[in-house]
Amino acid sequence: MPRLIGIAGPSCSGKTELARWLSLRTGAPVLNLDHYYIDLSHLPLEVRAKTNFDEPHSVDHDAILQHTRDLHAGVAVHAPQYDFATHSRAPGDEIIEPREFVILEGLFALYWPELREHLALKLFVGAPDEVCLARRLERDVRERGRTPESVRWQFESTVLPGARQFIHPCSGYADLVLSGTDPIELSGGQVLDLLAGLNPPWPRKSKQTGTFM
């Protein structure tokens, strides 16, 4: 049975970087829970832009839970894709094939009890608010066509309040709380050590020989 790893934390805290780092070293596919945002294509763009995306009801909770159950049972899922520039579902999907490990990464990855019960390892990545804002400014202006003013407005009006109300409390459910400002090799190495301690253990690759131990 696949073992699921949940990675939660506030926006731009370092969740995605950790998920990608672990995926490269374990072969685990990554299910991005932020792609489960509810489609807003029926609304004018200016209305979509003012939507609160930092509350749990902004994502398709039922689909997330069903896909989590399927992956835990070893069944592949067709994960949705989301266009963050237009706040709407993108065409097509991504097939996530379960392997020994599957990574579930997103704001609300530790929020729902029904999801947490399927996780073999629960991780929380945190970072200071000013670091998250600086990273979000750089990402949203470069990748999503936002203005710095709109990014700051959204951060202060919904992102930060949502993180304090819904995301930060989830750190109490984590098996390991990591700093998103630490070197990724340090944080990732701590996670690999935890995976090696699971029963049955995950075979880690030797740095010296390249063989599994």
**Residue 149 forms part of a structural domain:** yes
What is the distance between the alpha carbons of residues 182 and 170, in angstroms, rounded to a whole number?
A: 20
- Residue 106 placed within a domain: yes
pLDDT of residue 9: 98
Number of domains in the chain: 1
Pairing of strands 77-83, 88-96: antiparallel
Of 52 and 131, more confident = 131
Domain-located, residue 203: no
Average pLDDT for 87-100:
93
Whether residue 204 lies inside any domain: the answer is no
Q: What is the pTM of this model?
A: 0.89
Is residue 208 a part of any domain in this protein?
no
What CA–CA distance (Å, rounded) separates 156 from 159?
6
14 within a domain of the structure (yes/no): yes
Beta strand pairing call for 176-179 and 3-8: unpaired
Domain carrying residue 123: 3-196
Give the DSSP H or E segment for 93: strand 88-96
N- to C-terminal Cα separation, the chain: 21
Provide the CATH number for the domain around residue 187: 3.40.50.300
Write the pLDDT tens digit of every residue in 55-80. Answer: 999 999 999 999 999 999 999 999 99
Residue 35 has pLDDT above 80, yes or no: yes
CA-CA distance, 142 to 136, in Å (whole number)?
Answer: 10
Task: State the pLDDT at residue 183.
Answer: 97
**pLDDT over 70 (residue 186):** yes
